[in-house]
């Protein structure tokens, strides 16, 4: 049975088929083709079926976000389906389940591969969104290092001396650095490759958001998370739907003048850290 007889449909590519990314694309996926990319075939089929049963058109592609060729193939498949109007990247590793090297390879280098690959296929007027994290604000990277990062290809980022010295200390430091680099990757792309395609790209930095995977973090570092919740102005966690509202705005037409920037949505956790209401320990 053919549920949608329209031709030349726009394409939404989602890398990382989890609850947060799915919540974002549901806001504007009607009448468009969704291409889901994930390393897990099981996760892909489950998410694709959930979308199909809700009336959306969904395709799948197995992607290893740490392999440049795999990410490029994902972008090429998206382009083969139609005009790629939206790209959302939520692929990432949990700091309490992953080594520093794995986090840097996936969250930093892998994101760079994705930004580069989709910078070659985005349609005019398209928009991209990298889901980063509030952790990108938890300590500052020296200005001269940020300048070096902006001028270094994705595959060479782990060779930067600062990243080798600081990022490999522990998984927490690796995660913070990777998420800060995400902000820089969007800035660079917005001014260069994505600009050439007349497409926009931004990042969003969620705070403590309740998702199925987040429970693993809560179980591993519950006291730290509870401390952040207690000290925040919101005094609660966030939901994927709240992040989706903000993400849909940044991807939509009303955000047409917003490009190369980050939106922090954390309920006030970073404000609490910077004003000393919460003492941050990185591990």
As annotated, the active-site residues are 175, 179
Residue 256 vs residues 18, 32, 91, 228, 252: alpha-carbon distances, Å:
26, 20, 25, 33, 7
| Dihedral over alpha carbons 204, 171, 118, 194 (to 10 degrees) | 60
- Tell me how crowded residue 253 is: count the other CB atoms within 10 A of its CB: 8
Distance of CA 272 to the CA centre of its chain: 24
Retrieve residue 142's tokens: 């020296």
Is residue 123 classed as helix, strand or coil in its secondary structure?
Answer: strand
Retrieve residue 97's tokens: 């389940």
Give the DSSP letter of residue 64.
Answer: -
The residues, ordered by sequence, that sit 6+ positions from 92 with a Cβ below 8 Å of its Cβ are 16, 106, 107, 131, 133
């Amino acid at each position: 049975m053919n549920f949608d007889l329209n031709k030349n449909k726009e394409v939404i590519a989602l890398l990382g088929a989890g609850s947060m990314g799915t919540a974002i694309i549901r806001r504007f996926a009607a009448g468009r083709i969704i291409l889901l990319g994930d390393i897990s075939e099981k996760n892909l089929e489950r998410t694709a079926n959930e979308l199909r049963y809700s009336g959306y058109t969904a395709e799948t592609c197995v992607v290893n976000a740490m392999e440049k060729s795999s990410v490029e193939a994902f972008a090429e498949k998206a382009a083969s389906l139609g005009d790629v109007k939206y790209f959302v990247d939520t692929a990432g590793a949990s700091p309490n389940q992953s080594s520093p090297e794995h986090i840097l390879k996936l969250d930093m280098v892998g994101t760079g591969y994705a930004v580069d690959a989709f910078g070659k296929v985005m349609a005019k007027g398209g928009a991209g969104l990298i889901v980063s994290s509030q952790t990108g604000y938890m300590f500052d990277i020296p200005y001269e290092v940020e300048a070096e990062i902006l001028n270094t290809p994705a595959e060479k980022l782990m060779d930067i001396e600062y990243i080798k010295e600081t990022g490999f200390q522990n998984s927490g430091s690796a995660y913070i650095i990777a998420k800060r680099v995400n902000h820089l990757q969007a800035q660079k792309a917005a001014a260069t490759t994505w600009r050439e395609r007349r497409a926009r790209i931004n990042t969003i930095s969620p705070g403590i958001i309740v998702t199925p995977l987040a429970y693993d973090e809560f179980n591993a570092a519950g006291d730290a998370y509870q401390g952040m919740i207690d000290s925040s102005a919101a005094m609660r966690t966030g939901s994927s739907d709240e992040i989706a509202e903000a993400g849909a705005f940044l991807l939509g037409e009303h955000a047409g003048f917003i490009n190369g920037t980050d939106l922090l949505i954390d309920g006030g956790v970073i404000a609490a850290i910077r004003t000393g209401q919460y003492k941050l320990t990185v591990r």
